[in-house]
């Protein structure tokens, strides 16, 4: 049993961000008890229970997080991120994953300690999965 608790909560359409979520959770499991949930199943979690909170979304709209599920979840829980270690991640289809910078700025403005953002162009390859696993292990 670990004394630290972490959760990885994500939205995905075609599975790309889900792959990152699974590898991040695997890395985090080396140091914490981990809950891995799709955002649609995450309402049962009490975010204040966790030391590390990781949120994942693909870029949607115009460089925005998913507006159907992740944005409503995030907006209703953002105050619970205050003082927590937060990791934001997700896949994108073009550009440089600018949505993650915007997301980070917003979380930081609510008092979150965003320790890392990680974006990947479309389907992650093995190297990307190793990289995000390491992020989890070192969080
Ligand atoms: C409606 C829609 C809007 C999108 N908007 C963006 C965008 O603004 N910027 C971007 O880089 N990719 C955008 N994408 C591409 C997705 O972010 C990309 O395909 C991603 O890998 C999907 O990840 P997922 O399988 O986890 O859903 C968009 C895709 C869709 C379907």
Domain holding 116: CATH number? 3.40.50.360
Give residue 104's pLDDT band: very low, low, confident or very high (50, 70, 90): very high
What pLDDT sits at residue 95? 84
Q: What is the Å distance from ligand 1's center to 120 Cα?
A: 11
Report the nearest-CA residue for atom 22 of ligand 1: 58
What pLDDT sits at residue 30? 96
- Residues whose CB is less than 8 angstroms from the CB of residue 111 and which lie 6 or more positions away in sequence, other chains included: 81, 82, 83
Q: What is the Å distance from ligand 1's center to 63 Cα?
A: 8
Q: CB–CB of 19/43 below 8 Å?
A: no
The mean predicted confidence, pLDDT, of the chain is 97
Atom of ligand 1 nearest to the CA of 15: 25
Q: What is the Å distance from ligand 1's center to 69 Cα?
A: 14
Q: What gap in Å lies between CA 6 and CA 8, rounded to an integer?
A: 7
Report the nearest-CA residue for atom 27 of ligand 1: 13
**Overall number of domains in the chain:** 1
What pLDDT sits at residue 1? 74
15 pocket-lining for ligand 1 (C-beta < 6 Å): yes
Atom of ligand 1 nearest to the CA of 19: 26
Domain range for 11 is 5-137
DSSP structural state of residue 76: H
Would you say residue 108 has pLDDT above 90? yes
Q: CB–CB of 28/52 below 8 Å?
A: yes
Would you say residue 66 has pLDDT above 80? yes
């Amino acid at each position: 049993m670990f004394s630290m608790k972490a959760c990885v909560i994500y939205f995905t359409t075609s599975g790309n961000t889900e792959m990152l979520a699974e590898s991040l959770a695997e890395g985090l499991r080396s140091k914490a008890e981990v809950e891995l949930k799709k955002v649609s199943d995450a309402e049962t979690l009490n975010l204040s229970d966790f030391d590390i909170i990781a949120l994942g979304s693909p870029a949607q709209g115009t460089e925005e997080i998913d507006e159907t599920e992740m944005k409503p979840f995030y907006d209703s829980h953002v105050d619970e991120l205050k003082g927590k270690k937060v990791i934001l991640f997700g896949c994108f289809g073009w550009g440089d994953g600018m949505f993650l910078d915007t997301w980070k700025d917003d979380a930081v403005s609510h008092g979150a300690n965003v320790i890392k953002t990680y974006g990947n162009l479309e389907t992650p390859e093995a190297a990307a999965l190793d990289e995000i696993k390491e992020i989890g292990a070192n969080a």
